Amino acid sequence: MRPIIGITSDYNGGDRPEFGGKIPTCFLRDRYVHAIEATGGIPMILPPLEAPSKSARPILERIDGLLLTGSGPDIDPKAYGERQRFRFKVIDPKRFSLERELIRHALKRAMPILGICGGMQTLNVAAGGTLYQDIRKQMPKAMQHQRGGKPAHLISVKRGTLLSKVLKQDQLQVNSAHHQGVKQVAPGYVVNAEAPDGVIEGIEAIDYPFVLGVQWHPEFLNADDQSTTLFKAFLKIAARYRHQMKC
């Protein structure tokens, strides 16, 4: 049976007219669903919930891998011990609370996790890392990283990392659609990719089969060989995880 992948969704509490207007709405961009389905998985959309501490474990019992998606709003800086220094919308607390609980319990199970863009940042913050709240203002020499879904710049992949073993190459052309980034890498994680300006483009957890975050959006490029390879590697480990849990 194909592995079931839980995909975290976004939430509009009625203050985002571009997503549901004044009606509270759970939503997810279809490209995440398509990327999982196209590479052999069964997507299961996970909405933000009111009681994440009670819901995380039952959810994880039903899935074989966790995909943490990006978002328009950003993580509340309080989550990594800072005050908000710049203007940006903050993720609904229900979403972040559920994702943090899912990550915590998924790690205990050694369940495969893939974090994309804001999902990578969530992985880092959930484990005790910090973020640049605004790359352009806090890293004045950084390139423009808000450039949409098309390929925008090269990244260097660090040899010996899980990401390098998956992609089998040292450089990769990626898109760039973010204004925040990882600042202090969380304990237990290492950097696996960087942009030419030093912005961290990937992290991964040490001593886990597959706990990996990428700052770009491979689901935008899922017809591309490297992006397909990344999703297929994630699903391969998820299928193995499913088999082990059933044995």
Contacts of 63 by beta carbon, 8 Å cutoff, 6+ apart: 4, 5, 6, 44, 111
Using the predicted structure, report yes or no on whether residue 33 has a pLDDT greater than 70: yes
**Amino acid occupying residue 201:** E
* Residue among 145, 153, 178, 217 flagged as catalytic: 217
Q: Nearest-CA neighbor of 220 among 99, 112, 56, 70?
A: 70
- Which range has the top average pLDDT, 21-30, 142-151, 166-175? 166-175
Q: Nearest-CA neighbor of 231 among 84, 116, 126?
A: 116
Tens-place pLDDT, residues 77-136: 999 999 999 999 999 999 999 999 999 999 999 999 999 999 999 999 999 999 999 999
* Residue among 99, 117, 145, 204 flagged as catalytic: 117
Q: 163: domain CATH number?
A: 3.40.50.880
Using the predicted structure, report yes or no on whether residue 55 has a pLDDT greater than 70: yes
Global pTM reads: 0.95
The parent domain of residue 75 ranges over: 4-246
Residue of 196 and 16 predicted with greater confidence:
196
Using the predicted structure, report yes or no on whether residue 20 has a pLDDT greater than 80: no
Using the predicted structure, report yes or no on whether residue 224 has a pLDDT greater than 90: no
Using the predicted structure, report yes or no on whether residue 189 has a pLDDT greater than 70: yes
Query: Structural domain tally of the chain?
Result: 1
Using the predicted structure, report yes or no on whether residue 17 has a pLDDT greater than 70: no
Using the predicted structure, report yes or no on whether residue 18 has a pLDDT greater than 70: no
Is 37 known to be catalytic? Answer: no
Band of pLDDT at residue 220, cut at 50, 70 and 90: confident
Distances (CA, A) of 94 to 57, 109, 169, 180, 218: 16, 23, 38, 21, 26
Q: How far apart are CA 170 and CA 12, in angstroms?
A: 39
Of 37-46, 86-95, 118-127, 184-193, least confident by mean pLDDT is 86-95
Counting Cβ atoms within 10 Å, is residue 20 exposed (0-12), middle (13-18) or buried (19+)? middle
